[in-house]
Structure 1
């Protein structure tokens, strides 16, 4: 329980500090840069996910075709 309270207090202090830092021009630039980098990272993760998903869908489609061909050959 004590750890949870400490976590909540730490998060609150972090928000207050970030708000105060964001009020300065340097702080605003810092947070804009962080936001930009997070956006780039998120975009890269999404692109990677979509690429892998397409690869897996193609593999499943190929496997389904192979299974269908084998069933036709057995008939």
Structure 2
């Protein structure tokens, strides 16, 4: 239970710090850059997943024929 409390305190502190940093021009630029990189990473993972899924479907269809 003590570890859960520390986790919640850490999450809360992180939100407060992020909010304070986001008030500055440099902080907004940092979070905008971070958001862009996270979106690009998510799209790359999604594209890779869909490509691999298509490869596996082709392999299954080829083996069934």
How far off its partner does 1:60 sit?
A: 0.7
1:57 and 2:54 equivalent? Answer: no
TM-score normalised by structure 1 residue count: 0.84
Q: Which has the larger radius of gyration?
A: 1
CA RMSD across the alignment: 0.5
Q: 2:9 maps to which residue?
A: 9
Map 1:14-25 → 2, pairs under 5 A: 14-25=14-25
- Residue 52 (structure 1) shift: 0.2
> Deviation digits for residues 5-54 of structure 1, max 9, x if unmatched?
00000000000110111011000000000001101111110110010000
Partners of 1:7 and 1:36 lie apart in 2 by 27
Relative CO higher for 1 or 2, CA cutoff 8 Å, sep ≥ 6?
A: 2
Q: Which runs of 5+ in 1 are unaligned?
A: 66-75
Q: Partners in 1 of 2:41 and 2:56 — Cα distance?
A: 22
